[in-house]
């Protein structure tokens, strides 16, 4: 795309600045959660910083590529996404450490294919819905769309990674709702979901059942399954209004908080920066959601609009679930916090989503790529 003055006026500078601030916020908190020492000598910070910089490069590249190209390649993208998920089942690892086979290694590079697959599914499903939007509420068309979306979810459940599966179910539901699905299907889906709960419950593994039981009463196993939530609540509560101070958190610095650089990093923020620090983070997320929804609303076509709403739905679920589990409002699922939690693949994936969203925002009538 030729970024002339007319095009630059449509570039969402507020969105990219907000993302940069969030990422810097995350780097500072990762440093506190892992050492509290020299910033650039911290290996966790180095890895996250590299992922962030690669993400900025990805954003810079993506804004010059017409997003409709990805729509034209949606079947290939869909196929690659499912192949990656199949590869995890065949060659992946992580069951012993995290309870799910969710990781792949290619040489020195270790990554989570499901994170990459989420982008692929959002892109391919957005195009698939657009191609069928005129008959969306036809039962056969809807079944076709649900089957299209359901295959990767089944592959993820086989890992088993219920957290990622829930993320996908959420953004798929949001995309279908925005597309104009009839309310009778929404009501039917809710009834089916409620009816399926006993079956799902009976097929959960013991550690997953423990998480559900502990969600209702963490004191059932204060030294086991309930330990994470109890320590997280203690950390956030002790932070009060302004926090104990950066690098001064007792629960954090003395190692009482588990997974403090990933899943429970919000507890580190709550303890060290208090309600004010947590509130600033939530405010930054509100800006992020608002800018993404605005881009989706003003998109030139259905494909671009659904793609951005899919990205925003994915991030919204991560934000709500992660913060919720640290304060005991939602079950512990191992869902990281966008731009804040440690994780190179996750950071890069979120930056790619931002790049694609900015690209959609730039595309208007009369502007050529």
Domain chopping of the chain, boundaries = 5-362
Q: Does the pLDDT of residue 26 top 60, yes or no?
A: yes
Q: Which residue in the block uniquely carries the two structure tokens 């203690």? A: 234
Structure tokens at 98: 């995290």
Ramachandran quadrant class, 250 (left: phi over 0; alpha: psi -120 to 50; beta: rest): alpha
Q: Does the pLDDT of residue 133 top 80, yes or no?
A: yes
Task: Write down the pLDDT at residue 200.
Answer: 77
Percent of the chain residues past pLDDT 70, beyond the cut: 94
What pLDDT digit, counting tens, does each position of 259-295 carry? 899 999 999 999 999 999 999 999 999 999 999 999 9
- Verdict on whether the full-model pTM lies above 0.85: yes
> Would you give the DSSP letter of residue 335?
P
Average pLDDT in the 140-164 region? 91
pLDDT confidence tier of residue 5, bands split at 50, 70 and 90: low
Phi, psi (deg, nearest 5) at residue 93? -145, 170
Q: Which of 277, 185, 200, 201 is nearest to 236 (CA)?
A: 277
Task: Write down the pLDDT at residue 215.
Answer: 79
Q: Does the pLDDT of residue 166 top 50, yes or no?
A: yes
Task: Write down the pLDDT at residue 366.
Answer: 41
Mean pLDDT of the chain: 89
How many CB atoms sit inside 10 A of residue 241's CB?
9
Report whether the peptide linkage leading into residue 160 is cis, meaning its omega lies within 30 degrees of zero.
yes
Q: Which of 362, 313, 357, 346 is nearest to 55 (CA)?
A: 346
Q: Does the pLDDT of residue 323 top 90, yes or no?
A: yes
Task: Write down the pLDDT at residue 7.
Answer: 65
271 touches 239 (CB < 8 A): yes
Name which residue leads in pLDDT, 6 or 9.
Answer: 9
CA distances from 184 to 81, 84, 177, 191 (A): 31, 35, 12, 11
pLDDT confidence tier of residue 205, bands split at 50, 70 and 90: confident
Extract the runs of DSSP E, i.e. beta strands, from 52-206.
Answer: 104-106, 109-111
pLDDT confidence tier of residue 92, bands split at 50, 70 and 90: confident
Q: Does the pLDDT of residue 55 top 80, yes or no?
A: yes
Q: Could you give the CA distance from residue 60 to residue 148 in angstroms, rounded to a whole number? A: 31
- Give the three-class secondary structure for 112: coil
Q: Could you give the CA distance from residue 67 to residue 10 in angstroms, rounded to a whole number? A: 16
């Amino acid at each position: 795309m030729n970024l002339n003055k007319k095009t630059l006026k449509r570039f969402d500078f507020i969105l990219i600045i907000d993302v940069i601030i969030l990422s810097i916020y995350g780097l500072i908190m990762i440093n506190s959660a892992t050492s509290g020492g020299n910033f650039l000598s911290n290996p966790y910070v180095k890895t996250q910083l590299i992922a962030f910089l690669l993400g900025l490069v990805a954003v810079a590249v993506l804004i010059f590529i017409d997003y409709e190209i990805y729509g034209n390649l949606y079947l290939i993208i869909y196929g690659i996404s499912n192949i990656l998920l199949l590869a995890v089942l065949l060659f992946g690892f992580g069951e012993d450490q995290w309870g799910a086979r969710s990781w792949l290694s290619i040489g020195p590079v270790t990554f989570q294919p499901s994170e990459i697959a989420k982008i692929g599914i959002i892109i391919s499903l957005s195009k698939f819905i657009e191609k069928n939007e005129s008959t969306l509420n036809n039962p056969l068309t809807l079944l076709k769309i649900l089957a299209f979306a359901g295959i990767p979810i089944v592959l993820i459940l086989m890992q088993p990674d219920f957290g990622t599966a829930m993320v996908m179910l959420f953004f798929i539901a949001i995309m279908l709702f925005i597309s104009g699905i009839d309310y009778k299907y929404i009501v039917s889906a809710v009834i089916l979901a409620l009816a399926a709960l006993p079956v799902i419950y009976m097929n959960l593994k013991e550690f997953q059942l423990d998480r559900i039981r502990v969600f209702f009463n963490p004191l059932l196993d204060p030294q086991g399954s309930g330990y994470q939530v109890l320590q997280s609540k203690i950390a956030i509560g002790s932070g009060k209004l302004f926090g104990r101070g950066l690098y001064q958190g007792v629960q954090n610095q003395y190692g009482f908080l588990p997974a403090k650089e990933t899943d429970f990093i919000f507890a580190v923020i709550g303890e060290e920066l208090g309600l004010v620090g947590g509130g600033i983070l939530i405010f930054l997320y509100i800006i992020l959601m608002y800018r993404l929804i605005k881009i989706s609303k003003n998109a030139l076509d259905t494909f671009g609009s659904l793609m951005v709403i899919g990205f925003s739905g994915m991030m919204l679920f991560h934000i709500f679930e992660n913060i919720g589990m640290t304060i005991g409002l939602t079950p512990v699922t191992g869902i990281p916090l966008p731009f804040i939690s440690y994780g190179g693949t996750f950071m890069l994936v979120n930056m790619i989503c931002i790049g694609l969203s900015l690209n959609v925002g730039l595309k208007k009538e009369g502007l050529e790529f």
